[in-house]
């Protein structure tokens, strides 16, 4: 990756529908100058705290603060070692804090950190929060879940399809804080290319939204809109946990070899080659003419010379022609490390998924009308009409963006209504909705 490549990033952290406090934390540290970036790179992370009351919230906050501070302070280590040391330091800090108070004993947090640096992307990981990469029409999970069920799958004692049949599928086997020493997984560095999207999330998202759906949304929408739609979707499907999503899209000029491989037309042969072809063709014609006019020996020599010259020219072209490097090759010539993601899925847009989002908005709109949510109905009608028009025209990317806007408008009304209901249950005051106009 190059410093000149721009990035777009966003984060959303939501309490969900069933928790009283948000024990997730996230951090984004973007380098402001080339020198800092060359030494460290951009850092993005998500932490999901564990423990009753405010214990998990404290653990995740300590992790976010400590990892960022320690990583950028370590100037004498390379990126991989500095990131590993930062997570180990966060573990020691949380463990020490937990040992000072009985109420904080064995508090912990997951931590997944992504660094975009000159070497590529490097990931430091502990727990079951995840890092994904969306490239083209594929989403790859780049981290291994440190959970009981993933460990059983690795040992061959459980099939992937059996996970969702288990009630305790979120029991994690590794986290920052409970123990004085922790094993940190480091993934990468892996090459970064223009158009790549990297997404980090807590299990509040992956417990409700499938990998393919995450891939479609992150691929088609800008980071801010993608984060909001993913959180809304998780909440609409139950919102059983805090939901935190961090997304970053890499832009900038592409790798010339990659662009050519994607279908860029090859350059022409040039005047030198055209002149060579004409000379060889003329030589061949003269040789044939000599043979026809009974000058057999001279004609054979000319035809043979033309043929051998043509073969030599073709061999020279084969040797000197531009070669395409593998799609994952870095511009500086470094070879790509061959690796496999822990899980992969298609990120290709589908009509079925768009229809699912459309059906969700229909249910929300009906509830909003019946329960008199406070909705910006003019904005809703405009976005909904645009979504229907895009679906009819089979402009699926645009339809997804419009449906995301529709759901966001309705979810804003739902969240406000929920707050009114909570105030009513606490203070005994009925909610007082303000409806601008009847929804259609």
Tokens matching residue 90: 């966060």
- Do both 240 and 320 map to the same domain? no
Q: pLDDT at position 334, please?
A: 36
Q: Where does a domain end: 287, 322, 348?
A: 348
Instruction: Flag whether 283 is in a domain.
Output: yes
Question: Residue 29: in which H helix or E strand, if any?
Answer: strand 24-29
- Do both 107 and 224 map to the same domain? yes
Q: Where does a domain end: 305, 322, 348?
A: 348
Q: pLDDT at position 176, please?
A: 95
CB 126 within 8 A of CB 144: no
Q: Got the DSSP string for 377-423? A: HHHHHHHHHHHHHHHHTT-HHHHHHHHHHHHHHHHHHHHHHHHHHHH
Q: How many domains does the chain have?
A: 3
Instruction: Flag whether 375 is in a domain.
Output: yes
Q: Got the DSSP string for 301-353? A: HHHHHHHHHHHHHHHHHHHHSPPPPPTT--TT-PPPPP---SEEEE----HHH
CB 129 within 8 A of CB 144: no
Q: pLDDT at position 280, please?
A: 74
- Do both 306 and 367 map to the same domain? no
- Do both 356 and 288 map to the same domain? no
CB 48 within 8 A of CB 23: yes
Q: pLDDT at position 273, please?
A: 64
Residues of the chain with pLDDT below 70 are 52-53, 150, 153-170, 252-273, 316-340, 426, 428-440
Q: pLDDT at position 102, please?
A: 82
Q: pLDDT at position 150, please?
A: 66
Q: pLDDT at position 326, please?
A: 40
Domain that holds residue 402: 349-427
- Do both 171 and 303 map to the same domain? no
Torsion angle defined by CA atoms of residues 376, 382, 388 and 393, in that order, rounded to the nearest 10 degrees: -150
Instruction: Flag whether 434 is in a domain.
Output: no
Q: Which residues pair with 125 in a beta bridge?
A: 112, 185
CA 59 distance to own-chain centroid: 25
Instruction: Flag whether 102 is in a domain.
Output: yes
What lies within 8 Å, CB to CB, of 295 at 6+ separation is none
pTM, whole model, 2 decimals?
0.76
65/85 Cα distance (integer angstroms):
14
What lies within 8 Å, CB to CB, of 194 at 6+ separation is 5, 250, 251, 252, 253, 254, 255
Instruction: Flag whether 45 is in a domain.
Output: yes
CB 283 within 8 A of CB 274: no
Instruction: Flag whether 437 is in a domain.
Output: no
**3-state secondary structure (DSSP) of residue 429:** coil
- Do both 335 and 227 map to the same domain? no
Question: Residue 364: in which H helix or E strand, if any?
Answer: helix 351-371
Q: pLDDT at position 342, please?
A: 85
- Do both 240 and 153 map to the same domain? yes
- Do both 332 and 354 map to the same domain? no
Q: pLDDT at position 428, please?
A: 64
- Do both 283 and 391 map to the same domain? no
Q: Where does a domain end: 348, 380, 399?
A: 348
CB 141 within 8 A of CB 198: no
63/102 Cα distance (integer angstroms):
20
Instruction: Flag whether 311 is in a domain.
Output: yes
- Do both 330 and 395 map to the same domain? no
Instruction: Flag whether 354 is in a domain.
Output: yes
- Do both 277 and 246 map to the same domain? no
76-128 confidence digits (pLDDT tens) = 899 999 999 999 999 999 999 988 888 888 899 999 999 999 999 999 999 99
- Do both 12 and 116 map to the same domain? yes
CATH number at residue 181: 3.60.40.10
Cβ neighbours around 269 below 10 Å, total: 11
């Amino acid at each position: 990756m190059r410093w000149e490549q721009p990035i777009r990033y966003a984060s959303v952290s939501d309490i969900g529908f069933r928790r009283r406090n948000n024990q997730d934390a996230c951090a984004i540290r973007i380098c402001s100058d080339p020198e800092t970036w060359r030494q460290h790179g951009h850092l993005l992370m998500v932490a999901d705290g564990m423990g009753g009351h405010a214990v998990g919230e404290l653990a995740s906050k300590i992790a976010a603060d400590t990892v960022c501070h320690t990583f950028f302070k370590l100037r004498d280590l390379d990126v991989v070692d500095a990131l590993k040391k930062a997570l180990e330091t966060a573990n020691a800090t949380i463990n020490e804090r937990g040992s000072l108070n009985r109420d904080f004993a064995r508090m912990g947090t997951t931590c997944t950190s992504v660094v975009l640096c000159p070497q590529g992307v490097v990931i430091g990981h502990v727990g079951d929060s995840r890092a994904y990469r969306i490239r083209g029409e594929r989403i790859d999970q780049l981290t291994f879940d440190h959970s009981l069920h993933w460990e059983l799958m690795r040992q061959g004692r459980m099939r992937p399809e059996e996970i969702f049949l288990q009630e305790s599928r979120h029991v994690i086997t590794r986290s920052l804080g409970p123990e004085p020493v922790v094993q940190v997984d480091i993934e990468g560095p892996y090459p970064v290319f223009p158009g790549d999207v990297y997404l980090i999330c807590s299990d509040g998202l992956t417990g409700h939204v499938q990998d393919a759906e995450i891939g479609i949304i992150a691929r088609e929408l800008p980071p801010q809109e993608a984060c909001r739609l993913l959180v809304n979707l998780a909440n609409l499907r139950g919102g059983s946990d805090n939901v935190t999503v961090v997304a970053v899209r890499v832009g900038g000029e592409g790798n010339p070899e990659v662009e050519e491989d994607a279908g860029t037309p090859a350059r022409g042969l040039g005047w030198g080659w055209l002149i060579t072809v004409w000379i060889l063709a003329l030589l061949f014609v003269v040789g044939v003419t000599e043979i026809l006019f009974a000058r057999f020996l001279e004609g054979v020599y000319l035809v043979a010379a033309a043929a051998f010259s043509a073969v030599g020219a073709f061999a020279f072209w084969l040797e000197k022609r531009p070669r395409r490097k593998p799609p994952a090759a870095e511009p500086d010539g470094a070879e790509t490390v061959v690796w496999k993601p822990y899980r992969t899925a298609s990120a290709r847009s589908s009509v079925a998924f768009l229809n699912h989002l459309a059906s969700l908005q229909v249910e929300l709109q009906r509830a909003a009308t019946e329960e008199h949510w406070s909705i910006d109905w003019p904005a809703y009608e405009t976005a909904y009409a645009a979504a229907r028009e895009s679906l009819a025209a089979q402009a699926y990317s645009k339809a997804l963006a419009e449906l995301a806007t529709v759901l966001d408008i309705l979810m804003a009304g739902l969240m406000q209504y929920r707050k009114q209901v909570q105030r009513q249950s606490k203070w005994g005051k009925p909610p007082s909705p303000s409806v601008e106009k009847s929804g259609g």
